């Protein structure tokens, strides 16, 4: 079993590479959603140390776009670990912005040598070259597009669709044989999250994981969905990002 001090140093190294202490991974949350051992989680996160330069390049890309601060999902390393441990065939993501979450899903899929990421984004753009304090923290610089921080080499397995989820999610879900990993990170209202969860429910495989960020804005939508599935929601440490695992053994 990995030592606590060594694990803490590993996690700190990853967060420093991306430039934010908010990204310190929550190992317990990964275990709750996957049932993986401490050793498996440690080994999976250690894979990212070999990609420290990748994290630093992502940070440099964000800074080049005027993002000296970090305003993306606070669990990028957990997304990588979930992708590696679950080995999903189809990942669905709602909300992209610069593409921090997309990048870590794609890094995991590349390491798995299989699987695809399907993303939907309705971008919000800055009014000018400099991001104003009154603009959305995930607004995109005017000379960039959704996913602008995603390395080009990872985009081959990326199905990115631009437009409202209300129009694009139903046809996307109808095309997929199943969904193994899902992330809600777009319009954070109770009604919209309920729509997304209801749309994906028929395609969720046993053992799949469903994530929703900013659940402090979506009322009871996520906990109620977990109750209907007969499972328990788990909150990531220090955030309003929640996850659940669909009951049953993973599909073969």
Q: Domain containing 240 — which CATH number?
A: 3.40.50.150
Task: Supply the pLDDT for residue 70.
Answer: 55
Q: Domain residues for 175?
A: 73-127+137-245
What is the rounded distance in angstroms from the CA atom of residue 100 to the CA atom of residue 167? 24
Task: Supply the pLDDT for residue 83.
Answer: 98
Is position 38 within any domain?
no
With 0-12 / 13-18 / 19 or more C-beta atoms within 10 angstroms meaning exposed / middle / buried, residue 85 is: buried
Task: Supply the pLDDT for residue 157.
Answer: 82
Q: Give CA angle at 182 (176, 187), nearest 5°.
A: 110
CA-based end-to-end distance of the chain: 28
What is the rounded distance in angstroms from the CA atom of residue 225 to the CA atom of residue 23? 27
Is position 43 within any domain?
no
Is position 229 within any domain?
yes
Q: What is the CA radius of gyration of the chain?
A: 17
What is the rounded distance in angstroms from the CA atom of residue 112 to the CA atom of residue 81? 11
Is position 13 within any domain?
no
**Helix (H) or strand (E) segment spanning residue 228:** helix 221-229
Identify any residues that bridge with 184 across adjacent strands, giving them in sequence order.
94, 212
For residue 111, the SS3 value is helix
What is the rounded distance in angstroms from the CA atom of residue 120 to the CA atom of residue 184? 10
Is position 106 within any domain?
yes
In the chain, how many domains are there? 1
What tens-digit pLDDT sequence spans the chain (252 residues)?
A: 457 888 888 888 888 888 888 889 999 999 999 999 999 999 999 999 877 888 888 889 888 888 766 557 889 999 999 999 999 999 999 999 999 999 999 999 999 999 999 999 999 999 988 888 898 888 898 889 999 999 999 998 899 999 999 999 999 999 999 999 999 999 999 999 999 999 999 999 999 999 999 999 999 999 999 999 999 999 999 999 999 999 988 766
Of 162, 80, 146, 83, which Cα lies nearest the Cα of 115? 83
Is position 16 within any domain?
no
Report the half-sphere exposure of 100 (CA within 13 A, side-chain side).
24
Is position 170 within any domain?
yes
Helix axes 38-46, 27-34, angle to 10 degrees: 120
Is position 186 within any domain?
yes
Q: Are 173 and 200 in contact (CB under 8 A)?
A: yes
Task: Supply the pLDDT for residue 1.
Answer: 47
What is the rounded distance in angstroms from the CA atom of residue 99 to the CA atom of residue 13? 21
pTM of the predicted structure, to 2 decimals: 0.95
């Amino acid at each position: 079993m990995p030592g606590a001090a060594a694990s803490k140093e590993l996690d700190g190294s990853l967060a420093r590479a991306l430039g934010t202490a908010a990204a310190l991974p929550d190992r317990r949350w990964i275990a709750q959603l996957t049932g993986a051992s401490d050793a498996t989680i440690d080994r999976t996160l250690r894979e990212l140390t070999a990609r420290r330069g990748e994290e630093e390049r992502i940070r440099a890309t964000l800074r080049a776009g005027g993002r000296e601060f970090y305003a993306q999902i606070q669990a990028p390393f957990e997304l990588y670990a979930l992708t590696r441990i679950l080995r999903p065939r189809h990942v669905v993501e709602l909300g992209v912005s610069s593409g921090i979450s997309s990048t870590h899903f794609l890094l995991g899929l590349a390491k798995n040598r299989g699987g695809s990421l399907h993303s939907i984004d309705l971008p919000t753009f800055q009014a000018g070259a400099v991001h104003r304090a009154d603009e959305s923290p995930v607004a995109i610089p005017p000379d960039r597009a959704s996913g602008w921080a995603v390395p080009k080499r990872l985009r081959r397995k990326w199905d990115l669709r631009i437009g409202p989820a209300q129009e694009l999610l139903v046809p996307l879900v109808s095309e997929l044989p199943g969904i193994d990993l899902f992330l809600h990170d777009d319009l954070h209202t109770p009604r919209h999250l309920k729509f997304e969860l209801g749309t994906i429910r028929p395609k969720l495989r046993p053992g799949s994981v469903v994530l929703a960020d900013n659940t402090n804005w979506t009322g009871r939508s996520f906990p109620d969905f977990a109750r209907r599935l007969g499972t328990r929601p788990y909150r990531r440490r220090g955030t309003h990002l929640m996850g659940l695992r669909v009951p049953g053994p993973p599909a073969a």
